[in-house]
Amino acid sequence: MSTSPTLETVSTSVLIIGAGGAGLRTSIELAQRGVDCLVLGKRAHGDAHTIWAAGGINASLGSLDPEDRWEIHAADTLDEGHFVNDPTAVETLCRRAPDRIRELEEWGMAFDRTDDGKINQRYFGAQSFRRTCFVGDRTGQALMNTLVQKAMDLEVPYRENLYITDLMTESGRVAGAVGFDMDSGRPVAFDAEAVVIAAGGHTSLYRRSSSRPDENTGDAQALAFNAGVPLRDMEFVQFHPTGKVTPEEEAGHLVTEAVRGEGGRLYNTEGERFMERYSPNQMELDARDVVARANEREIREGRGTENDAVLLDISHRDADYIRERLPRMVEEFAAHGVDITKEPMEVAPTAHYAMGGIEVDFETAETRIEGLYAVGECTAGVHGANRLGGNSLIETIVFGEIAGTHIAETLGTRPGASMSEAALRGCVVAQDALGSANGRHTPEELIGRLRRLMWNHAGILRDEDGLLEGLRRLQQLRADADDLLVQASRTSRRYERAQNLQFMCATAETILRGALERTESRGAHARTDHDATDPAWRQNIRCIPTGDGEMEIDVEAAGTPSRRVQRAIDEDHELDYHHLE
Ligand SMILES: Cc1cc2nc3c(=O)[nH]c(=O)nc-3n(C[C@H](O)[C@H](O)[C@H](O)COP(=O)(O)OP(=O)(O)OC[C@H]3O[C@@H](n4cnc5c(N)ncnc54)[C@H](O)[C@@H]3O)c2cc1C
């Protein structure tokens, strides 16, 4: 079914895999410095997951709170990350963020303004000051529009509907990548001196996630791991407390935090406002991980609805006020017959963000493979055990600029590598074999099983028995994945899902292994059999590939912040769990 008559070969100095905020910002830096590069993505130009980001992007501009400084932004980030973040990454991010925002403004991003014309800023969860810049509730879309326009002005070439399946390396250096064109079905080899992975997160591994369908399937992490790059902090997955439950195709999509910000209350099916038991002071406005765990416990202990949900109710507020402040929610629920001005919404936790990912050197964004870089949600280090809302968009921009700069400065100064013919042929043969697989299990069946497995065994609440059982089930699932039924060409959705499944299994194992190793609870990682945070565990867990998909686990002490940032931590600024205004 899936023969590949001709292999297309493409040569570029720098190949960028992924065209969200991270990939585009990297390409802009390269183009501005006169370096030839090619950006590609699985979808059309401008259609990356970044467009879904709503609330905002952080930088200590001090528009409304002049006492804010980058050191306090760093202190807040480390605090929310429970001090297992990479301090270099955090300090670089926070120090450089204001310049990157001003640059976006120069490039035409229409930030909301204060009355006196400054970039407006609002509170986001767990921040000491109003630091989140925004464009209404469509900040990600505005960011993408700005970056796409800038990249087009600089004539950065973009290749759409291109799926990368393998990275090519030779003697510890990157040589290029291999994939296939999802329109023509042709396999494609990219010969490049440097390759940047900017292919996003992995939250689609979970039964419920805030991700778009068929996106965030852990491709970036698996591509890097398969090429020999360690992954770290994989056990840290952020769950948002309020995802939709129905209809099925929207399950996991976010019910905005603004509902709770506007006074929304959480109830179980016994009519109890249960946050009184979990967080009597902050109630529904406590941190995301606290509310997500409370919701999950209520559901697990049998006080949830038949759809495994709790009830979020805002109907005690005036109907006109709800319509004015939450128009999108009113509309979205009304489309499915729920009038939120009169009745509660069913909500449940949903996987929202991957804190763990590819290990890089944050001064350059390079991995341990020379010439191979990683930027954006696919990397680990900035967020530690939990992400501060608004920090991920700025991460894509700050480290995109850093990667682009380092590549431009080093290109041509190091020995190159060329792709091995045999390895290239092997990749194409594997692509063909996948398309003609004629076994018993469809990719859709196995992806569904994997998502349930991850939800049940590596979800919000974890324990040793569950994680071990998860690993056992994953082993069985992988055996079934060797008996796959595809029978479809590279242009089909089924073929794409069959490829996704390979990446999802590889990435899932690192999450399960990391979560098993960490015998404590910290940030987003909650072990019911080790429910306290153990100071001795202020360490990072690394999954180191040893070849043939195998790994060893290594543990490394977390770094310490600089004196300037430590002083800001010691100043003990009051964190406020404000939500979207
Ligand atoms: C609902 C929602 C709201 C959010 N709100 C905010 C917010 O307010 N503030 C904030 O800071 N963050 C927010 N985030 C998080 C933030 O949007 C992401 O972390 C960030 O946009 C990731 O950008 P990225 O460039 O790393 O990846 P993405 O934007 O996910 O782009 C990944 C790119 O890689 C490509 N790709 C993937 N796999 C392959 C492959 N195998 N071959 C070729 N190409 C591939 C994709 O096609 C795409 O082009 C939110 C997230 C969600 C889900």
- Report the nearest atom of ligand 1 relative to the CA of 24: 25
Residue 578 pLDDT: 52
Which parts of the chain have pLDDT scores under 70? 1-5, 575-581
Q: Is residue 577 part of a domain?
A: no
Pocket of ligand 1 contains residue 210 by CB under 6 Å:
yes
Q: Is residue 538 part of a domain?
A: no
Closest CA to 375 of 363, 387, 360: 360
Task: Supply the CATH number for residue 248's domain.
Answer: 3.90.700.10
Alpha-carbon distance 349 to 343, whole Å? 20
Q: For residue 541, give the 3-state DSSP assignment.
A: strand
Pocket of ligand 1 contains residue 138 by CB under 6 Å:
no
Pocket of ligand 1 contains residue 188 by CB under 6 Å:
no
Closest CA to 87 of 566, 576, 567: 566
Residue 347 pLDDT: 97
If you search the block for the tokens 């505005």, which residue do you land on? 142
Sheet holding 231-232, edge to edge: 357-358, 231-232, 539-547, 550-557
Residue 387 pLDDT: 93
- Report the nearest atom of ligand 1 relative to the CA of 47: 49
If you search the block for the tokens 């292994």, which residue do you land on? 513
Q: Read off φ and ψ for residue 117, nearest 5 degrees.
A: 85, 5
| Strand 345-354 versus strand 310-313 pairing type | antiparallel
Q: Is residue 463 part of a domain?
A: no
Q: Whose CA is nearest to atom 10 of ligand 1?
A: 390
- Mutation pick for ligand 1 pocket among 58, 123, 377 (CB with most ligand atoms within 8 Å): 377
Q: Which of 122, 130, 260, 525 is catalytic?
A: 260
Residue 416 pLDDT: 83
Alpha-carbon distance 50 to 24, whole Å? 11
Residue type, 47: D
Q: Ligand 1: distance of its center to the CA of 201 in Å?
A: 7
Residues 6+ apart with CB under 8 A from 509: 471, 474, 551
| Strand 526-527 versus strand 461-462 pairing type | parallel
Alpha-carbon distance 350 to 335, whole Å? 21
Whether 78 contacts 523, CB under 8 Å: no
Q: Is residue 282 part of a domain?
A: yes
Residue numbers of the domain that contains 245: 237-352
Whether 352 contacts 239, CB under 8 Å: yes
Q: Ligand 1: distance of its center to the CA of 16 in Å?
A: 14
Instruction: Indicate if 45 belongs to the active site.
Output: no
- Report how many domains make up the chain: 1
Q: Whose CA is nearest to atom 44 of ligand 1?
A: 41
Pocket of ligand 1 contains residue 17 by CB under 6 Å:
yes
Q: Ligand 1: distance of its center to the CA of 51 in Å?
A: 8
Residue 127 pLDDT: 82
Pocket of ligand 1 contains residue 164 by CB under 6 Å:
yes
Q: Is residue 341 part of a domain?
A: yes
Instruction: Indicate if 82 belongs to the active site.
Output: no
Q: Is residue 438 part of a domain?
A: no
- Mutation pick for ligand 1 pocket among 76, 250, 392 (CB with most ligand atoms within 8 Å): 392
Pocket of ligand 1 contains residue 41 by CB under 6 Å:
yes
The gap from C-alpha 244 to its chain's centroid, in whole angstroms, comes to 19
Q: Is residue 148 part of a domain?
A: no
If you search the block for the tokens 């991700």, which residue do you land on? 211
Residue type, 527: R
Q: Ligand 1: distance of its center to the CA of 464 in Å?
A: 31
Pocket of ligand 1 contains residue 390 by CB under 6 Å:
yes
Q: Which of 49, 95, 240, 462 is catalytic?
A: 240
Alpha-carbon distance 458 to 514, whole Å? 10
- Report the nearest atom of ligand 1 relative to the CA of 390: 11
Structure tokens at 21: 């905020």
Closest CA to 6 of 188, 167, 142: 188
Pocket of ligand 1 contains residue 377 by CB under 6 Å:
yes
Q: Read off φ and ψ for residue 105, nearest 5 degrees.
A: -60, -45
Residue 2 pLDDT: 46
Q: Read off φ and ψ for residue 84, nearest 5 degrees.
A: -115, 10
Q: Is residue 280 part of a domain?
A: yes
Residue 138 pLDDT: 85
- Report the nearest atom of ligand 1 relative to the CA of 395: 11
* DSSP annotation of 61: -
Q: Ligand 1: distance of its center to the CA of 138 in Å?
A: 14
Sheet holding 121-122, edge to edge: 57-58, 132-133, 121-122
